[in-house]
Every structure is written in structure tokens, then in C-alpha cells.
Amino acid sequence: MPRTSKKLVLAVIDGLTPAMLERGLEEGRLPALGLLHEAGTYARGTTTFPSVTPVCLTSIATGGHPDVHGIPHLVWYHRDEERVVEYGSSFAAVRAAGTRRSLRDSIFAMTNEHLAAEATTVFEALEDEGFDCGAINFTCYRGRTRHAIKLPVPVGRNRWYEAAWGPRRFFFFNLYEWDTTGAPLAIRSRPEGSIDAYAATIGRWLVTRDGFDFLVFYLPDYDYASHIVGPEAAVAALERADSSVGELMAAAGGPEEFLDRYAIIVCSDHGQTRVDRIARLQDAYSDLSVFTGRRGTYPADADVVVTASNRSGMVYALSGRSPRELAERLDGAAGVDVVLFREGGEAVARRGSAELRFGPGADGWNTNGNDEVLDSARYPNALERSWCALECANAGEVIVSAAAGWEFEDLGRRHHAGGGSHGSLLAGDSTTPIIAARPDGLSLPDAPRITDLAPPRLAHLGVQPPASMGARVGRGV
């Protein structure tokens, strides 16, 4: 493939919904994003499932769904290690699972151990071809360069934290920093947008030095604010994210100078919807022995493992119970909308007592049953996303998507009632905005998915996408 001289930035605003972006543009509140919107193309895309940050960011990095990259949820059961992995549903959930183990899982193990070895990241693919890559605060960061931790830490026998493998220009919440930039502490005042401000300082530093061929610029503070007040009320946080993007353009000398030098894609990883009601997914199995992963408990005598967070959850069968039995127990359960499981080589989606069986065929999807169970207007790209979630080696035998307005209580018994949440198959959690400005031939397919972003990023720089960034499942459906 021919190489282009223009470099590339991918800016990810966590949790940004199309409706909030479009409202902000219409009201003139987002000058930086407005300039990019006018200079490029805009589309509504679809994320992966479950639509939670670790899964979605890993799909952006690898171009694959969970069946490819192996990250099944924000919280999941590790069958080989017989424990629950908790990436940070809440501080209470982290404490309940074990703080030290959860910090290791979320900061280090997710990318360096849990991410499937065969799932090539964009950083690996580009750096193997000699490109300089950068990432700021991006949780799926696996690359080819070893970075020593920057903070002073005690010497001990367990030195898992001493280094991480990321792209060459890697910055991760002050823990791992490729160079000294003058950036302040990232986690000092999240309600005031301190993480986005940290990213903006580093981004400005890199653009001033033209220090990369490809940069992932991750801004998580809008999602944080949306969880607290709901996505429609987090306007100030979105304005701060817009300002952070504006810092990149200012560092290049202005919008035109920036776009002469860089192509830029702006997207979110998932949507977000308001929640007011809370359910405990494990209550449907109250007559069984349930392991939830709390520190000091063990799964040896458990019948099932139940892991839930935000607006989705999973059930793992430990005592030989069939996935159908576990799924049918959720009929009519509080907060449950769609229940997914595998049976006879097919996927089954169950809503109430109605079912749809499906699987990929030569020319699309083969289906049998009630098509309204996964109506495409209500659940975008649901067949592909559901199939790939079930095919993930680390997923539960049963996967649950929450009903509108409901959230599942996490391991620490925390929730976001009165604010926003995400994770389900529903359109509000699953639809993402995508702006592509001055892409120089980089194009997205009709009805783009976030897994479609990785191959064009490589092609833009003249690199052949690896086999793990494969074609769509069930193309043409």
C-alpha cells in the first residue's frame, strides 16, 4: 500500500453519545469539534458488546470483538485462576475483589496477560513497520517498547508494576511516561476534568514536537461526569473535552495548520443512558450456591458465578447446569431485557419467553424464531455483537443485557441510579458518533462499527491490516 505523508490522531471521548455531540454542535458549545465536523464527515456508528469501556477500547485497539481479543466485560470470572477479575466498576467493587489484585488487573494484566496474544493491536502493527506511535491514558496499550514505572515504589518480590509494554510514546496516568512534559497529576480533581487536562498537556507537548505518526488521545472525564449526573446534564465536561481537542490544534498553530499536518478521527467508545432502577442479577439464583468473587470467598462448592456491572452481566455454570436452565431462570427477573446463550452450535437470544436462534452463514445470518427479540432498530448490529460476545473464551455461558432505565448492582453493591450508565445491547448504550476530518482517502463503511476503525488507520499509513482485524461476521446482514 502507498504511504501517506499525513499523520493520524484518534481522539476517543469516553461515553459521548451522538445526541449530546449533535446538541453541543447545534448550540455552538463545541468550537473545536465543530471545526472538525465542518472539515470532515460525520456518521453514527455502533460499538461492541458488552458496551463497557475495557471491552470497547480493546475493540478499538485491535479491530476485533471479544471473540478476537478475549476481554469479555468490566468484571468476569477467570476459569483457569478460579477468581473474579474486576477492572474497576467502582472503588467499592475494587475493595471487595481485593484492591491490589484489581489494580494489577486493570493497569497491567488486562493488556499484558488477558488480551489474547493473537489479537494484534494497532500499535504493534504500526511499530513493526517502523512508525512511531503514541498513546495517552489508553487502557489497551500493548506495544513493542518497555516503559519503566515513573512513580517511586517500594522494592519487593512482586515487581509486576515495574514496567509495561506499550507504544514508544506512552503516557499512562503519571505511572508510565515516555518523557517529561510538565503535565500535572492526572487524578487530582476528576469532577473538574483533571485527567482530560493531563492528556491535553501531553498532547500539546507531542504536537509541538511533531512527535508521532499515530496518536491515541483518550479523554475519559465526560463518561465520569455522565455516570454522576446523566449524559444530558454533563455539558460542562463535554466542553472541557472539546477544549482538550482544541489544545492539539492550537499546538500546531491553529486548525488549518493542524489539519494540514494530521488527519483526525474523533469517536466515542460507547453511548450512555439514564438509569433510575437497580437490580441484583444474582437474586435469580438465590436457591443455588453463588460465587460473586468477593475477597476471602472461594468457588469450590459454588453452582454458578455471577458477575455484573453497569448494564450487563454474565453467568458461569460450575456444576454442570445447562445454559438454558440458567437463562430461563431470568425470565421476568427485575432489570433483565435480553438473555444470550449457546445451544446446539447456535446462539439463542431470549426476551421474556420469546426466542431467536441464529448463527453466521455463507451469505449472512441464519435465523429461526422471533426476529423481534433482536429488532435491529432497538438493538443495532445485535446478531454480530451477540454472537461475538458469546464466542469469547472468557465469557460466561449466559450473557445478560439490562432493560432500559435499569442497572445491575456491582460487586461492591454500588450503582449509578440517578445518573448514567451503559453496557447493554440497546441503541442508547451502543451508538457512537464518528467524525473523520481530512482523512486523505481514509474511508469508513456504511453503518460503521468501532471495530472498523483499526484497519483504515493502518491503511492510511500504508500498512496491511493483520489477519486478526478480519472481515465482518455475517457481512451483508
Q: What value, to the nearest 5°, has the Cα angle with vertex 154 and ends 76 and 187?
A: 60
Rounded CA gap, 135 and 333, in Å? Answer: 42
* Grid coordinates belonging to 88: 474497576
* Grid coordinates belonging to 152: 517511586
Question: What pLDDT score was predicted for residue 473?
Answer: 47
Which amino acid belongs to residue 424?
Answer: S
Strand pairing class (40-46; 398-402): unpaired
Contact (Cβ atoms closer than 8 angstroms) between residue 150 and residue 175: yes
157: alpha, beta or left? (left if phi > 0; alpha if psi -120 to 50)? alpha
* Grid coordinates belonging to 202: 501531553
Give 44's strand partners. 433
Residues in the chain: 477
Contact (Cβ atoms closer than 8 angstroms) between residue 47 and residue 58: no
Q: DSSP characters for 290-304? A: EE---TT---TT-SE
**Considering the entire predicted model, what is its pTM?**
0.95
Dihedral pair phi/psi, residue 62, rounded to 5°: -110, -15
Question: What pLDDT score was predicted for residue 5?
Answer: 65
Handedness of CA 44, 451, 236, 30 (dihedral sign): negative
Rounded CA gap, 49 and 113, in Å? Answer: 21
Question: What pLDDT score was predicted for residue 456?
Answer: 84
* pLDDT, one tens digit for every residue, the chain (477 residues): 445 568 999 999 999 999 999 999 999 999 999 999 999 999 999 999 999 999 999 999 999 999 999 999 999 999 999 999 999 999 999 999 999 999 999 999 999 999 999 999 999 999 999 999 999 999 999 999 999 888 665 544 456 677 899 999 999 998 899 998 888 887 777 777 899 999 999 999 999 999 999 999 999 999 999 999 999 999 999 999 999 999 999 999 999 999 999 999 999 999 999 999 999 999 999 999 999 998 888 899 899 999 999 999 999 999 889 999 999 999 999 999 999 999 999 999 999 999 999 999 988 999 999 999 999 999 999 999 999 999 999 999 999 999 999 999 999 999 999 999 999 999 999 999 999 998 776 667 788 999 999 988 888 888 999 999 965 544 333
